[in-house]
Amino acid sequence: GNSVTQMEGPVTLSEEAFLTINCTYTATGYPSLFWYVQYPGEGLQLLLKATKADDKGSNKGFEATYRKETTSFHLEKGSVQVSDSAVYFCAPFTGRRALTFGSGTRLQVQP
Amino acid sequence: DTGVSQDPRHKITKRGQNVTFRCDPISEHNRLYWYRQTLGQGPEFLTYFQNEAQLEKSRLLSDRFSAERPKGSFSTLEIQRTEQGDSAMYLCASSPSGSGDTGELFFGEGSRLTVL
């Protein structure tokens, strides 16, 4: 089955700092890769995705590149804002079963 | 609002009681998922339906848990003889299948269960 390893949080940054949240995965076949975000008091929502090797997913200033050779999908943002404070989940999808989520990384951005 | 809706949003019960959660998916989605999320953890898969058929169940889904989707629309998740360890957020998600299945799940806001 699929599995995900995410860096442990919380990650605490000052506003406008650079963000990296590491994610590595194991999966059978060639998964699509997702980052979901959970803002305080809200449901999970898709942040970005990539469906094949070397694809870059991007949304709201966040980016992640599908690296097949290192089985990684690290999330980056050049300048974080307080409103980015949330929990971020990495998830591979192979189409045969439901999404498998990592344990999540909490991001706290201080003004 | 055409998103996934869950009811109730919060349920407090005493140990040993039965509880039932309802999920209404996005209307054109024929896949429906249940996940459980405890504090500080990611969502853990419980079960999923394609239309009314329950296609997969996690080993986490003990025999005290039962999920149904009788008409392929809304779904219920029942927990019998609740235990304190059942306290968690129960998440429902839906997605299209076939050519529309990109893997993206659309989540509701969850039903939080507290077992005293």
Closest CA to B69 of B37, B92, B44, B97: B92
Question: Tell me, what's the pLDDT at B1?
Answer: 56
- Can you read off the two tokens belonging to residue A25? 């995965």
Query: What distance in Å separates the CA atoms of residue A81 and residue A104, rounded to the nearest whole number?
Result: 19
pLDDT greater than 70 at residue B21:
yes
What does R_g of chain B's alpha carbons equal in angstroms?
A: 14
Query: What distance in Å separates the CA atoms of residue B72 and residue B52, rounded to the nearest whole number?
Result: 4
What are the tens digits of pLDDT across the range A21-78? 999 998 877 889 999 999 988 889 999 999 999 999 999 999 999 999 999 999 999 9
Query: What distance in Å separates the CA atoms of residue A68 and residue B33, rounded to the nearest whole number?
Result: 28
Q: Which residues contact A69 (CB under 8 A, 6 or more apart)?
A: none
Question: Tell me, what's the pLDDT at B100?
Answer: 60
pLDDT greater than 90 at residue A98:
no
What number is the average pLDDT over the span B43-57?
92
Q: Chain B: nearest CA to A42, how far in angstroms? A: 6
What number is the average pLDDT over the span A84-106?
87
Closest CA to A76 of B103, A99, A67, A68: A67
List phi, psi (to 5°) of A90.
Answer: -95, 145
What number is the average pLDDT over the span B2-26?
96
Residues in chain A closer than 8 A to B102 (CB atoms): 32, 49, 51
Question: Tell me, what's the pLDDT at A96?
Answer: 63
Among B48, B104, B110, the residue with its CB nearest the CB of A46 is B104
Q: Do A43 and B33 count as a contact with CB atoms less than 8 A apart?
A: no
Among A42, A95, A103, the residue with its CB nearest the CB of B42 is A103
- Can you read off the two tokens belonging to residue B96? 């299209």
Question: Tell me, what's the pLDDT at A70?
Answer: 94
Question: Tell me, what's the pLDDT at B79?
Answer: 97
Q: Is B86 helix (H, G, I), strand (E, B) or coil?
A: helix
Residues B8 and B77: beta-carbon distance below 8 Å: no
Question: Tell me, what's the pLDDT at A105?
Answer: 95
pLDDT greater than 70 at residue B99:
no
Residues A98 and A44: beta-carbon distance below 8 Å: no
Question: Tell me, what's the pLDDT at A19?
Answer: 97
Residues B32 and B46: beta-carbon distance below 8 Å: no
Residue B101 pLDDT grade (very low, low, confident, very high; cuts 50, 70, 90): low
Percentage of chain B beyond pLDDT 90 is 72
Q: How far is CA A104 from the centre of its chain?
A: 8
What number is the average pLDDT over the span A4-10?
89
Residue B77 pLDDT grade (very low, low, confident, very high; cuts 50, 70, 90): very high
Pairing of strands B53-57, B65-68: unpaired
- Can you read off the two tokens belonging to residue A79? 């300048």
Q: Do B56 and A95 count as a contact with CB atoms less than 8 A apart?
A: no
pLDDT greater than 80 at residue B94:
yes
Q: Chain B: nearest CA to A59, how far in angstroms? A: 15
Residue B108 pLDDT grade (very low, low, confident, very high; cuts 50, 70, 90): very high
Q: Per mean pLDDT, which range of A23-32, B33-42, B44-53 is the poorest?
A: A23-32
Mean pLDDT of chain B: 92
